[in-house]
Amino acid sequence: MQDELTISTKSGIEIRVDRSILDNAAEIRLRLEGNAACVLHWGLRRGLSSPWTMPPQPLWPEGSKPFDHSAVRSPFLPRQGHKEIVVKLDLSMKFPLLEFVLFFPEEGSWDNNTGRNYRIEIPSGEIPKSRRLSLGEAELDSLAGEIIDKEMGRSSWTLMHRFDLCYDLMDKVKINDSEGMALLFVWLRYSAIRQLDWQRNYNTKPRELGHAVDRLTLKLADRYAKAEAERGLLRLIISTLGRGSNAQRVRDEVLNIMHRHNIKEVSGHFMEEWHQKLHNNTTPDDMVICEAYLEFLRSDGNLQRFYQKLEQGGITKQRLESFERPIRSTPDFVPYLKDALIRDFEHFLGILKEVHAGADLGIAIQSARRLFDQDMHARMDFIWTHQNDQDATPLIEKITLSRLYLAGRLTGPPYDLRDLLFLDIALEEFLRTVVERSIGQQLTGELLVNWTELVLENLCLSGKDTEFQYILTHWKRLRVMPHFEGEWSLHAESVLERIRRAIGSFVDQFQNLIQPKAEFLGNAFHADSWSINLFSEEVLRGRPEFVLSTLLRYFDPILRKSAGLGNWQIISRGRGTGEVKSLDSLKSVQGMYFEKPSVIVADKIRGDEEIPQGVAAIITPSDIDALSHLAIRARNAGVLFAVCYDPDTIGQLKVLSGRLVKLSVNNAGSVVIEETSTEERIEQKHIVGFRGAPVTTAFSAYAIPIRDFTERNVGYKSNKL
């Protein structure tokens, strides 16, 4: 596998990039023509929102030096007629992005692409689409094939065409067919996160797009009333869409604003270029552009703030210029029009959100008001007025009461049901925002008792899961008893353990349903590798289960202390034998390969790290979210991962650094630590990265029945499943 690209930098330097796969490693060769005196300042990223990670030192190009624990500086070395840097990365590291800037030592200056940095997608060695297996079911494969043919074909394509196709394909998905509906969700989410074209050789009038969205959301609402087993997936699909509404107002209102303020329709000006884009193909990008323009006006014409706001919304200057109706000009600031334009474009932003963001809280409240009783009006007014309050409890209580009110009304005509569904989804999302922004505050035990019930109530309102409903009933009975006495704390801790098991079960089911489809479609769409690898995890992070898991992380130590319980919280059950390695943080060994099986004792863990190859177990005193990236990876790999709340036990483990220990989990839920002989054979069954070389066998059958699955003839994941 080999490909190449050319990066034209802001400093006028062109870098030719050759990417290839060789001997289970990705090789990235950066070639610089001429004699420019610059160095490559670079790091690895798991996604656009994750921090830079320094690659392991053995993989640094010749002459490289570390910088600030997260980046490497590599010189371009002279070759025949050019300069180059060669980066080789082990494919098992699974970093999808190499990000860099150029540093000019002689001048002390930088080229960081005006704050956006330069990125190279690291080849992953994935199997080409033509050799990929199907999804396994004829009807599902047919559905996926039709989607892929339309998305990857050469014909004209816009959001309108995508939504029209989805409308038609829904008729091919049987009622309560979760597999088919999950495929449609994955497809539309790839669209929502900009992994698919929003316009290709076609102009769509706003009213045509509005009609496509309007009829699709009404059809989804009608199906919600009929297909109880699909409701969780239908909510996810609806969350990727706008309302459609009267989208013609987008075209009319921007003209009204321009005429009202005598802004001439003259080419070469920002407002006219944006006006042309809005007329010919309005997309969710326009909400970000409008917010950035408002930031520009409020900052008295600060262009840096304009572009910062754009980038926060996922839009670069290059994306603006790539539109079929490109926006190349920068906005003009006219001081005497500032206040009037801010007022008009705040109103215009509301119109754009009606079309493209149905689950926006303000739009959802306004659209559903006609269906409220007096108490619901009062609750919505309180939530909107106090949405930025630091005291989270009243907001969480009002959100819960509002959603209980809506739960009994998610029936009836599709128009009413759709508006109530958008509001319910918006309130669910706002609950997550309120809890997450408050989690850093000092949370008392009593507060966590209350919040746990409220979040459980919201989780049950978002989907029908019998186990979570039983847990909620159990917690309500427990809550009326005197709190934090010994027996009560033991009882409460048992419920928390039940919650953790239920969350783990939900995560496994969700990933098994969603991730294979995300990988199948993502590779067919040539989506960014980070968006494929993290697809189901990113969706999970937006769900109520993640909010509840975050609360447990803070609640568990309080209950354990009150109950006089043991010092262990098991994140991932398993057993492991290896050499103890004591670390300040797990981040410090990202991308490393341990030749000997190792037991990591890390003081600091954030939860977004990967498990290095050769790791048998991870022990930490850090509080870890059971739905963190690391926790999910550990469970999938069968690696023992546990939190220890006892400093003495952590200290005893650190004393064993460099020695061999055997770890297991006993029936009481504690980790048993045994020092073992170096001569004892190390069980490598659960060691990350310790997979034997593939065994070549003679062809005997086109398929292997599950009874014959072994580690010799199928992959590790298939064998484990």
Tell me which residues are annotated as active site. Answer: 629
Residue 336 to residues 256, 300, 641, Cα–Cα distance (Å) = 18, 11, 61
The answer to whether the beta carbons of residues 306 and 331 sit under 8 Å apart is: yes
Q: What is the 8-class DSSP label of residue 553? A: H
How is residue 133 written in tokens? 């297996």
Cβ-proximal residues to 133 (8 Å cutoff; 6+ apart), any chain? none
Q: Bridge-partner residues for 22, per DSSP?
A: 25
The angle that helices 248-260 and 206-226 make with each other, rounded to 10 degrees, is 140
Q: How far is CA 134 from the centre of its chain?
A: 25
The answer to whether the beta carbons of residues 89 and 103 sit under 8 Å apart is: no
On the 0-12 / 13-18 / 19+ scale of CB atoms within 10 A, 699 is exposed
The angle formed by the CA atoms of residues 681, 687 and 691, to the nearest 5 degrees, is 95
- Residue 547 belongs to what H/E stretch? helix 544-563
Cβ-proximal residues to 706 (8 Å cutoff; 6+ apart), any chain? none
How is residue 480 written in tokens? 């009326």
The answer to whether the beta carbons of residues 576 and 679 sit under 8 Å apart is: no
| Three-state DSSP class for residue 128 | coil
Phi (first) and psi of residue 610, to 5 degrees: -100, 160
Residue 242 to residues 116, 214, 215, 414, 419, Cα–Cα distance (Å) = 29, 8, 11, 15, 11
How is residue 61 written in tokens? 């190009």
Q: Bridge-partner residues for 30, per DSSP?
A: 17, 85
Alpha-carbon distance of 163 to 140, in angstroms, equals 19
Alpha-carbon distance of 183 to 191, in angstroms, equals 13
Neighbouring C-beta atoms of residue 667, cutoff 10 Å: 5
- Residue 548 belongs to what H/E stretch? helix 544-563
Q: How far is CA 34 from the centre of its chain?
A: 41
The answer to whether the beta carbons of residues 591 and 95 sit under 8 Å apart is: yes
The answer to whether the beta carbons of residues 626 and 537 sit under 8 Å apart is: no
The answer to whether the beta carbons of residues 260 and 333 sit under 8 Å apart is: no
- Residue 345 belongs to what H/E stretch? helix 338-356
